[in-house]
Amino acid sequence: MQRLVSAENKPIAIALAFILVILLIGTGYTLSTTGTAPLLSPNYLLQQLQIGAFLGICAAGIMMVILLGHIDLSIPWTLTAAAMTATAIGGDLAVPTALAVGVAVGLVNGIGVAWLRIPSMIFTLGVDTVLRGLMVAQTGGFAPQDTATPLMVFLAKERLLGIPAAIFVWAAVSLAIVVILTRTGFGRAIYATGSREAAAYLSGIRTRWVIVGAFVVSGVCAAIAGILLAGYSAKAYQGMGNVYLLPAIAAVVLGGTHILGGRGRYVGTLIGVILIVLLNSVLSIMQMPEAGRQIIYGGVIIAMLLVYGRNQRVLS
């Protein structure tokens, strides 16, 4: 049992070690160049967490799908469609409309994967393309002129008790995911279905509805991220979600969630998000050229996955 627990915690420990190394390198660089250490400033860390909330909420949703051994590639335009629809509707209906878009996309994805048995990678990519076409048709190919509502701006940019409201939203989403995965029958069914769907079905679990539910959660999380991102930017724009797909998947995998499903803890995803946010922040402070940033960013991910992959082979 002790060996199993250590193996489960190993990816999390590795991610924490990488975070420490990133902080040390970034602090050493800023001390040598400016004589200050902004990375250790509470205000700076809160700002990075505020920006990381968008990625963290996307990662929370996509983790639910990855735990089933599936993938949701419709995240970018689910986020964008929710944000653009919310700003177009405006008023008190903006946020509920965005959430409804997330639910609708999740239902379509879940039905396509669970009932039609189309591979999730192909089906969700197709849904993402359809959403992109719908949004281009809605705006005529031009940037929308709508602006975010005051509530959206408040949730993304304002502070409560000195802490950005976006962090509270991220915390609420995180708490909901943890409760679902650890305290509900739905969460246990996700792990069972991800481990072996046929066995879960034979044991009485409604695996198709479990898959639909996970995709709905992923869609809603993408919509929430879209609400916040539109509020942070004060408007919605085409392609605003494109930069979040791969980092969200990377955060989930780096946090120890098995890409084939059945194993993973949300705390690992949380740490994976913080790692990616801090890495991007340090590279920005160092004014690393885009080419160098991509090389280092990819290298860190590959290095962690290699170490984690060795751990998985030992387990198997």
> What digits encode the pLDDT tens for the residues 54-77?
999 999 999 999 999 999 999 999
**Mean pLDDT to the nearest integer, 110-137:** 94
Q: What does the pLDDT read at residue 259?
A: 81
Cα 230-174-21 angle, rounded to 5 deg = 90
| Per-residue pLDDT band at 175 (split at 50, 70, 90) | very high
Burial code (b: 16+ CB inside 10 Å, e: under 16) for 29-62 equals ebeeeeeeebbeeeeebeebbbbbbbbbbbbbbb
Give the three-class secondary structure for 140: coil
Decide if 281 contacts 40 (C-beta within 8 A).
no
Residue 270 has pLDDT above 90, yes or no: yes
User: Cα–Cα distance between 289 and 40 in angstroms, integer?
Assistant: 24
- Which residues, in sequence order, are CB contacts of 229 under 8 Å at separation 6+? 54, 79, 83, 156, 240, 241
Neighbours of 185 (CB within 10 A): 11
The tokens 């998985």 sit on which residue?
312
- Which CATH number applies to 2-315: 1.20.1070, 3.30.200, 1.10.10, 1.10.3470? 1.10.3470
For residue 304, what pLDDT is reported? Answer: 65
Nearest to 220 by CA among 102, 140, 116: 102
Q: Taking 50 as the threshold, does the pLDDT of residue 269 lie above it? A: yes
Strand partners, 159: 164
Say what the pLDDT of residue 80 is: 94
Contact 219, 105 (CB under 8 A): yes
Q: Are 136 and 81 in contact (CB under 8 A)?
A: no
Backbone angles phi, psi at 164, to 5 degrees: -55, 135
Q: What is the mean pLDDT of residues 241-261?
A: 87
Q: In residues, how long is the chain?
A: 316
d(CA 79, CA 260): 25
Q: Output the CA–CA distances (angstroms, integers) from residue 22 to 1, 27, 29, 296, in the order listed.
A: 32, 8, 11, 12
At residue 160, what is the residue type?
L
Arithmetic mean of pLDDT, 79-104: 93
Q: Which pLDDT does position 315 carry in this prediction?
A: 41
Contact 228, 99 (CB under 8 A): no
pLDDT grade, residue 84 (50/70/90)?
very high
pTM summary value: 0.90
Residue 184 has pLDDT above 60, yes or no: yes
Average pLDDT over residues 154-175: 93
Where residue 142 falls among pLDDT bands split at 50, 70, 90? low
> What distance in Å separates the CA atoms of residue 267 and residue 287, rounded to the nearest whole number?
30
Note the pLDDT tens digit of each residue in 19-42: 888 888 888 877 877 767 677 778
Contacts for 35 with CB less than 8 Å, ≥ 6 apart: none
